[in-house]
Structure 1
Amino acid sequence: MTLSTRRLGATSVSVTTLGFGCAPIGGLLGAVDERPARHALDTAWEGGVRYFDTAPFYGFGASERRVGDALREHPRDDYVLSTKAGRLLRPHADPPGAENGWEQPLPFRPVYDYGYDAVRRSLEDSLQRLGLERIDVLLLHDIGRFTHAEAAHAHHFEAATTGGLKALMEMKREGLIGAYGIGVNETAVLMAALERGEWDCFLLAGRYTLLEQDALDDLLTLCVSRGTSIICGGPYNSGLLAGGATWNYAEAPADLIARRDRLAAICNDHGVSLRAAALQFPLAHPAVASVIPGARTPDEARDNLARLAEPLPADLWRELQHENLLRPDAPIPSA
């Protein structure tokens, strides 16, 4: 399959509309052995995926190592790779993996630091774990109240939008990265960041999906006007839209499960899968460059490819809007 590509902001970096989110192969909410993780990456590649997103935080280095091992077999100019900065990894005999959602993490402890020196150091560390000479996109990871709560948010936000942003801008000028941005699970901090500077892209996880469209109120419109691309992470809302019971990395509340079930019933009436609708919906918005579901097995990687290609009728979207399951101002895919 040949996947279409879209450019990130005004940069020269273009990503496939379907990417590969690499948190699951780092052991998010469940251990993943080396072989199925590698086969999942290879399967996505064989299906045409050429954009891969990882982070030091994913398995405390495990995801980056696995991604690098797989991608080193391919010509470096044939794919786009993003990773993140904001947590430096320090050696630790008893890593706090379980409390952070990771099974079988590598023996490190993440330490928050969004300052100038730390962001530059983070890139160097990532390159060594990946075994690659460059990455294409560097994202400041998990700033905001969702991660840090009110007490620490102001400190980290200031560091990220002063020293951290300065480091990103310099590294782009130096050719060390092709684009930069922020990767988070909330919209408010991105609105605040746009007041501090220009950003090529934002990776927004779980906040623009079939279940949640509040980002239409302000963020997505502003991103279009500012030329900032959106990479949609978590299109299945941590698995809820894929048939699971987890939302936002925790047990899903009853009202969202009920909403998911209504969405699934309407999709079933139209003879299509909810997963296909969930995957294709975000890509209709002009701000969105790519959607990056995770996969921990080859079957999950193949399913993502199949759901992206699944034909969906225009009547499906109209009925979802009529039933108030999809906002009337949400751009919808063309049939």
Structure 2
Amino acid sequence: MKKRQLGRTGAQISEIGFGAWQIGGSWGDVSEADGKKALNAALDAGVTFIDTADVYGDGRSEKIIADVLKSRGGDRPFVATKAGRRLSPHVADGYTGANIEAFIDRSLKNLEVDTLDLVQLHCPPTDVYYRPEFFGELDGLVAKGKIRNYGVSVERVEEALKAIEYPGVATVQIIYNIFRQRPHDLFFAEAIKKNIGVIVRVPLASGLLSGKITRDTAFRSDDHRNFNRHGEAFDVGETFAGVPFEVALQAVDELRPLLPAGVAMSTFALRWILLQQAVSVVIPGARNEEQARSNAAASDLAGISPENRARIVEIYDRLVKPHVHQRW
């Protein structure tokens, strides 16, 4: 497993991380036992970065992580969590120092630590990025020793560009994949200039870029790929990267001939993301041990030829770009 630096945090982490949303909830039936097996398989494969959030299963994900790390012992991986989505209603005025500190205290308890490695604002309303006094409150929480670093998880490129104007913002988590290519137009260059850690989420477009989803695939009622198809529960860009389902399936079919022999589409799609120097870590989720090991294998995959890279851009420009590029 190759490593990269997480921006100015200075942490050296695996370039493939573990996204712990699936073991928390909103992905259908993933048992606690399967979640623990998936996380252990990822750690056994060399993963040293875990991303979670306080709302994933109402703390379930954080608690599973704590249990697994306690049982394993040894060197502790870097664990990032998120805060803010527990607000109800989820509005900019709710982002206060007191509220975020209360959420952080809860995560400290769930993860069974004294200090959180990284706290990310969990896709806050855009207005929050224009409130410097709130980012000052986060600096205060660093000074208190409750968090070592803070960053943001964003929906839009514009939010990312605004966030990194604040000197305390160490990381940005953003959606980037074969179906969401806009971040490399400008944001990645700015992130490199400012030594920002870039955490890439939704790298497989909610499973579409696994190549295993078909028109006949059925999703459980508690799976966001069912209940958030049109943004009913949260930003639609988090589900299938915001790409219309039929369009995405056509694009997947056109990507298949580019796969090297014996390489899964998911592994190929992750390797494509790692071509970007600005990316610190990619955080695919996993429901089971097999998926976790397959994700980790992307670190060892050979590069993608210039011809195939050009073909990927052509497929995106022709089929996907009109639906997503300027929206996020």
1:150 alignment partner in structure 2: none
1:124 alignment partner in structure 2: 105
1:57 alignment partner in structure 2: 55
Distance in 1 of aligned mates of 2:143 and 2:9: 12
1:266 equivalent among 235, 245, 258: 258
TM-score (norm 1): 0.78
Per-residue CA deviation, residues 177-225 of structure 1 (Å, 9 max, x unaligned), is 33211013322211222345442111113xx212221112211111111
1:248 alignment partner in structure 2: 238
Return the offset for 1:303. 1.7
1:24 alignment partner in structure 2: 22
Map residues 150-165 of structure 1 onto 2, 5 A cutoff. Answer: 153-154=126-127, 156-158=128-130, 161-163=132-134, 165=135
SS in 2 for 1:238: helix
TM-score (norm 2): 0.80
Map residues 86-165 of structure 1 onto 2, 5 A cutoff. Answer: 86-88=84-86, 113-144=94-125, 153-154=126-127, 156-158=128-130, 161-163=132-134, 165=135
Distance in 1 of aligned mates of 2:302 and 2:76: 28
Distance in 1 of aligned mates of 2:183 and 2:204: 16
SS in 2 for 1:87: coil
SS in 2 for 1:78: coil
Distance in 2 of aligned mates of 1:260 and 1:118: 42
SS in 2 for 1:281: helix
1:331 alignment partner in structure 2: none
1:219 alignment partner in structure 2: 187
Distance in 2 of aligned mates of 1:219 and 1:237: 20
Residue identity matched to 2:31: D
Return the offset for 1:241. 0.3
Return the offset for 1:78. 2.7
Return the offset for 1:308. 3.4
**Is 1:284 paired with 2:275?**
yes
Distance in 2 of aligned mates of 1:265 and 1:11: 40
Return the offset for 1:272. 3.2
Return the offset for 1:39. 0.9
8 Å CA contact 1:17, 1:290 repeated in 2:
yes
8 Å CA contact 2:55, 2:85 repeated in 1:
yes
Go from structure 1 to structure 2 and tell me whether the alpha carbon gap of 1:195 and 1:131 turns closer, same or farther (over 3 Å shift). closer
Go from structure 1 to structure 2 and tell me whether the alpha carbon gap of 1:184 and 1:176 turns closer, same or farther (over 3 Å shift). same
8 Å CA contact 1:231, 1:291 repeated in 2:
yes
Per-residue CA deviation, residues 131-170 of structure 1 (Å, 9 max, x unaligned), is 22222111011124xxxxxxxx43x4445x532x223222
Bigger RCO (CA 8 Å, 6+ sep): 2
1:96 alignment partner in structure 2: none
8 Å CA contact 2:200, 2:281 repeated in 1:
yes
**Is 1:311 paired with 2:302?**
yes
Return the offset for 1:226. 1.4
Per-residue CA deviation, residues 254-300 of structure 1 (Å, 9 max, x unaligned), is 222212221122216x5533212211122221211111100111121
Distance in 2 of aligned mates of 1:75 and 1:110: 39
2:231 alignment partner in structure 1: none
Go from structure 1 to structure 2 and tell me whether the alpha carbon gap of 1:229 and 1:325 turns closer, same or farther (over 3 Å shift). farther
Go from structure 1 to structure 2 and tell me whether the alpha carbon gap of 1:300 and 1:252 turns closer, same or farther (over 3 Å shift). farther
Distance in 2 of aligned mates of 1:139 and 1:157: 13
Distance in 1 of aligned mates of 2:264 and 2:119: 34
8 Å CA contact 2:2, 2:299 repeated in 1:
no
Pairwise CA RMSD of aligned residues?
A: 2.5
Distance in 1 of aligned mates of 2:3 and 2:201: 16
Return the offset for 1:5. 2.2
Distance in 2 of aligned mates of 1:132 and 1:74: 15
Return the offset for 1:126. 0.4
More moved, 178-187 vs 189-198:
189-198
More moved, 276-285 vs 302-311:
302-311
8 Å CA contact 1:211, 1:260 repeated in 2:
no
8 Å CA contact 1:85, 1:122 repeated in 2:
yes
8 Å CA contact 2:210, 2:264 repeated in 1:
no
SS in 2 for 1:55: coil
Give the gaps of 5 or more residues in structure 1. Answer: 90-108, 145-152, 328-335
Count of residue pairs brought into register by the alignment: 290
